[in-house]
Chain A
C-alpha cells in the first residue's frame, strides 16, 4: 500500500493490471458527480429501448448494456493517460449489435422475447473480448474484436474484389496490411440453445474460465464454453406434481474463486450454496441461508417481498449479498441462520404494498452490486433514486439520476424521502414518488469509483469527486 502526497491510499487490486489502481479517500466520504448520460431525451420511451441489463467487464474499460429490443451496446472508456487513471475519461460507444431476435415456439404457441436478461463478460485472454448474452431461452457467446488494418495488393483480385483475368497477371506480389479506420466487429461464436424449458434469469461464468451456468425458474444447467450441443443439469427443483410447487429459482452465481461452488436464491427468500464435488445433481444444498420472518411484518404480500431478486458474491468471496423487495442483506458464507448486515432500501414502502401490488411494482426485480473492495454496496429504487451504503462507516445516501442534475461534474445532492409527518424542505413525500421511474440495474466499476445506473432508457454514469 502506498500513499500519495494528499494522503490518499492507493491499493492495487489482485485482478488488475499494473496500471490500474483503486482510489479511496480517507474518511469514507464520497461525493458523487455527474459524468455522462447515454440515451434519448424524449419522454416518450420506445419499449425496445428500455435497458434490461448493465455490466462492466473485468477491467472496467468496457461497459455493456442490453435492452428489451435484443440489442447490446458496448461503451469504452477512453483513458487518455493510462499512467494516471485518476484522470478519468468518458465512455463512448464502442460497438452496437443485435444479439437476439424475437422467436416463436410453435409447439407451445409462445413468443420468445428478444429482451436481453443478462450479460456477463469473460476474462480477457487475447486481443478480442468475449461476452455471454442471454434472453429467456438462448445464450450466445459474442466475440468483439478490433480491425484497424486491411490487406491490399492481392495478386488475383482487384481492389473491389473482382477476380482478375489470369492472362493479365504478369508478376507476383504479396498483399500488405495497410492502416484503416478502426472497425469493431461483433460476431456470434457460440449459440447455446434448447436447454431451458422455463425463462432464463441468470448466467454466471465460472472462475475456471471454461464453464458457466445458466439458471431458469426451476433448473440450473452447467455448460462448457466450447460445447453447445449439450449441458449438464446440476439443479432441478421441479416437483413431480406441479401442484406442489412452492418456490422457484430467482438468481444464481458461481463463487468468484472456488470453481466448485455456486449459490442460487429462491422466491421464498432462501439462498442455497452448492458444492459440485458432492454429487452430479446438486439438489441437496451444502448450506442453506435463511432468516426467520418477523411475524409482526406478516401481510398478504409477505411472500412476494421476501422473494430474492438478485444475489452477488463479494469480490473476496467471503460474503454474498441478496436483494429482496425492501432490503439488501449481506451474508457471511460461514453463517447460515441470519445475515450479518441488513440495509433497508425503502422501508417507507412497507405501508404501500397493496398499492404497489395493484400497479405491479411489487414484482419489480432490483439488482445490487459491490464496489471494488467490497466496502460499499449499491442498489436502485423508485423515482430514479438509487441507494449507496458504506458498510465500513455505516453511512448511506440516496441519490437521484436526473437530467436536471446533468451538468458536467455537478455534485449530486443527497435526496431524502419523507415517510410521514411534516415534510421538510427538499424532502419528497412517499406519495409524490414516481413509480414509473425505477432503477433496476446498477453496476460499479471493478477498480474505480465509477458507477452506472440505468433508468428506463437512459444510462447515467457518475464518478466520485476528485479534488
Chain B
C-alpha cells in the first residue's frame, strides 16, 4: 500500500510538471515530456501490479468464488483532486490536434491519458 501511495504521489508530481511545462519559454520539450510520460506509465504499471499482487494474495487465501473481483482500471490511478469527468469535445473535432502549449481555457492536461501526451506534438 505504501508503494501505491508513493506511486500516486509521484504520478501527481509528474502531471503537475507536465502541466507546468505548458507555460515555459520555448514551448513543451519533447524529450522532457517523453520522460515524464514514461515515469507516469511506470507508476501506473506499478500500481496495477500492486493491485494484481493484492488480488494474487487474495487468491491464495480466498476461495475461487472471490477471484472474480473487478480489477481497477487506469482511470482510478489519477489523484483525487483531478476532475472525474473527462472533457468532451464536439464531434468531428480532432482531439489531439491542439498543441499542449496553446492557451485553451478549460482544457485539462490531466484529462489526457498517458499515451495521448506525445501525439500533441
User: Which residues of A lie under 8 Å from residue B119 when comparing CB positions?
Assistant: 241-243
| Given A112-B26, A113-B26, A199-B29; A245-B118 close (CB under 8 Å) | yes
Inter-subunit contact A267/B26 (CB<8 Å):
no
Interface presence of B34 (CB below 8 A) = yes
Interface presence of B82 (CB below 8 A) = no
Chain A's nearest CB lies how many Å from the CB of B9?
A: 9
Interface presence of B4 (CB below 8 A) = no
A111 and B99 alpha carbons, distance in the complex (Å): 13
Inter-subunit contact B34/A267 (CB<8 Å):
yes
A248 and B31 alpha carbons, distance in the complex (Å): 6
Inter-subunit contact B46/A300 (CB<8 Å):
yes
Inter-subunit contact B99/A217 (CB<8 Å):
no
Interface presence of B59 (CB below 8 A) = no
Nearest chain A residue, comparing its CB with the CB of B6: A354
Inter-subunit contact B13/A245 (CB<8 Å):
no
Interface presence of A303 (CB below 8 A) = yes
User: Which residues of A lie under 8 Å from residue B27 when comparing CB positions?
Assistant: 108, 110-111
Interface centre among B13, B27, B31, B46, by most A CB within 10 Å? Answer: B31
Inter-subunit contact A199/B26 (CB<8 Å):
yes
In-complex Cβ contact of B43 among A218, A241, A300 (8 A): A300
Contact with A along B92-121 (1 / 0, CB 8 A): 000000010111000000000001101101
Interface centre among B6, B13, B26, by most A CB within 10 Å? Answer: B26
Main secondary structure of the interface of B (DSSP, over half): helix
Within 8 A of B (CB), among A238-257: 241-243, 245-248, 250
Interface presence of A198 (CB below 8 A) = yes
Interface presence of A97 (CB below 8 A) = no
In-complex Cβ contact of B31 among A217, A302, A357 (8 A): A217
Interface presence of B18 (CB below 8 A) = no
A108 and B46 alpha carbons, distance in the complex (Å): 36
| Given A111-B26, A136-B26, A199-B26; A363-B32 close (CB under 8 Å) | yes
Inter-subunit contact A363/B101 (CB<8 Å):
no
Chain A's nearest CB lies how many Å from the CB of B45?
A: 10
Interface presence of B84 (CB below 8 A) = no
Interface size class of A (residues with CB under 8 A): 20 to 34
Interface presence of A294 (CB below 8 A) = no
A46 and B116 alpha carbons, distance in the complex (Å): 36
Nearest chain B residue, comparing its CB with the CB of A108: B99
Inter-subunit contact B30/A218 (CB<8 Å):
yes
| Given A354-B10, A358-B13; A199-B30 close (CB under 8 Å) | yes
Interface presence of A73 (CB below 8 A) = no
Interface presence of A307 (CB below 8 A) = yes
Inter-subunit contact A242/B42 (CB<8 Å):
no
User: Which residues of A lie under 8 Å from residue B88 when comparing CB positions?
Assistant: none
A197 and B27 alpha carbons, distance in the complex (Å): 12
Interface presence of A109 (CB below 8 A) = yes
| Given A108-B99, A300-B43, A307-B35; A243-B26 close (CB under 8 Å) | no
Chain A's nearest CB lies how many Å from the CB of B56?
A: 20
A292 and B44 alpha carbons, distance in the complex (Å): 24
User: Which residues of B lie under 8 Å from residue A109 when comparing CB positions?
Assistant: 99, 101-103
User: Which residues of B lie under 8 Å from residue A363 when comparing CB positions?
Assistant: 32, 35
User: Which residues of A lie under 8 Å from residue B99 when comparing CB positions?
Assistant: 108-110
A201 and B115 alpha carbons, distance in the complex (Å): 25
Chain B's nearest CB lies how many Å from the CB of A211?
A: 25
Nearest chain B residue, comparing its CB with the CB of A303: B38
Nearest chain B residue, comparing its CB with the CB of A110: B27
In-complex Cβ contact of A300 among B26, B34, B42, B118 (8 A): B42
Contact with B along A46-60 (1 / 0, CB 8 A): 000000000000000
A301 and B121 alpha carbons, distance in the complex (Å): 23
Listed A/B pairs (7) with beta-carbon separation below 8 Å: A109-B102, A110-B26, A110-B99, A111-B25, A217-B30, A248-B34, A357-B39
Which B positions have Cβ atoms within 8 angstroms of A?
6-7, 10, 13, 17, 25-27, 29-32, 34-35, 38-39, 42-43, 46, 99, 101-103, 115-116, 118-119, 121
A115-B26, A248-B30 provided; 15 other pairs, C-beta below 8 A?
A109-B103, A110-B101, A111-B26, A111-B27, A217-B30, A245-B118, A267-B31, A300-B10, A300-B43, A303-B35, A303-B42, A304-B38, A304-B39, A357-B13, A363-B32
Which A positions have Cβ atoms within 8 angstroms of B?
108-113, 115, 136, 198-199, 201, 217-218, 241-243, 245-248, 250, 267, 300-304, 307, 354, 357-358, 360, 363
